[in-house]
Amino acid sequence: MRSKRAKVLHPLAGRAMIDHLLATCTEAGLGEPIVVVSPRQGEVAAHLEGRCRLVLQPHPGGTGDALQQAAGLLPPEDLVLVLNADSPLVRAPTLELIVATQRQSNRAATMATVLDPGRRDGRVQRGPSGEFLRVVEHRDAAAEALSSPEINVGIYCFEGRRLWPSLRGLKPNNAAHEIYLTDVLALLAPIETVLVDDAEEVIGINDRVQLARAERILARRLLERLMLGGVTVKDPASTWVDADVVVGQDTVLEPFTILRGATVIGEDCHIGPFADIGDCRLGDRVRVDHSWLRQSVIASDCDCGPFSKLRPQTSLDERVHVGSFAELVRSRIGRGSKVPHVSYLGDAEVGEGVNIGAGTITANYDGVNKNRTVIEDGAFIGVDTMLRAPVRIGRKAGTGAGSVVTRDVPAGATAVGMPARVLKRDGEGGVTRR
């Protein structure tokens, strides 16, 4: 992969490559997985800690040597399903079929194959009657062996009581002193084979070109799942969703929409075009247009954009409008309030029915601390208001255009000027200045 990151931790649709395979094993109802790692793969071990059993392969010695490290960890009567961690696109029904085939046979092993002559993987060699003879690795294959279109895809199911003794008889067979797991198949022959119809399902990933191909395949699958579940995807070619994304019925995804992480979107929403949403939760009937959202919670009947930016720990209650070029972070906006245009609300608590005038800024950082601004229900904030936190605007209070508010404004009062002074109506309807 030419990367500082371990291959199996490269992300596909928001999950590490190996996590896709582990999720598929769970979906197929298999037992606890055992993952064989090298001592040099500490980041892989840390990523998987507590989620599966880890076994160290002290020295890289090939796939046969890797499987030998797990000998004795499983009861001999168990079936042993062996997978490559860099093949994340295999589906649960395929694994179920391989295991079922092995259970129903009287053979020692079952191997998955595919007809894909362009692959540079091991070639299956068969006898005159079509019986399995052996697998010849691509690097060791002569021209005659390379003519076989049937490819070993690295998925096997073994009868444990016959597998483990046979593994002990394997010997290194190349200059790198690798022990090939495929050599055990010849020792156990005759074996069963399962031909996988979809070659894309069993591709391996060894470089960034193959990683991008796998990403495209997975994206198509995920979008098809959404569309079959009642979501409209206007242009699948320009729309991307991660594996853990959930989208409700009758929601529309416009072109150039990206849904990342654990995002959940409700029903009847309209998302995009050009929406980038990550790890957010959206209610029903939400509209997001040309906007960027991260780790935010958006209640039903809200709208954002175009060109809104909602940063982490932002929440919008029902029927909130966030307009063009507004940015919010660590802020909560109450029901029915509006943040129409070109505003920045950081560390703000905004009540219900509040109108935030264009150009309003909460100056939340004093050079040391992030301070809070509180705007109570029904307040009206005039255009180009600067609120120097910490500060509180009382219920149904207001500010004049261009005000710089450095002190609290009482309920029902209006503050104007730079710095702002509070105008408060007296009992006879006059105005007093404080």
- Catalytic positions are 341
Cβ density class 202-229: b for 16+ within 10 Å, e for less: bbbbeeeeebeebbebbbebbbeebeee
Query: Do residues 157 and 95 lie in contact, with contact meaning Cβ atoms separated by under 8 Å?
Result: no
Distance CA 385, CA 158 (A): 72
In 3D, which of 100, 82, 211 has the Cα closest to residue 157? 82
Residue 56 is inside which H or E element, if any? strand 53-56
Give the count of beta carbons closer than 10 Å to the beta carbon of residue 13: 20
User: Between the CA of residue 35 and those of 52, 56, 76, 233, 273, what are the distances in Å?
Assistant: 7, 9, 18, 37, 41
Structure tokens belonging to residue 233: 């995807």
Distance CA 432, CA 298 (A): 41
Q: What is the CA radius of gyration of the chain?
A: 31
Dihedral, CA of residue 229, residue 212, residue 113 and residue 93, to nearest 10: -20
DSSP state of 122: P
For residue 209, give the 3-state DSSP assignment.
helix
Which residue is listed with tokens 């209006």? Answer: 414
Distance CA 275, CA 126 (A): 53
Structure tokens belonging to residue 404: 């710089």
Alpha helices in 14-79 (DSSP H): 17-27, 42-48, 62-68
For residue 222, give the 3-state DSSP assignment.
helix
Structure tokens belonging to residue 81: 């399903």
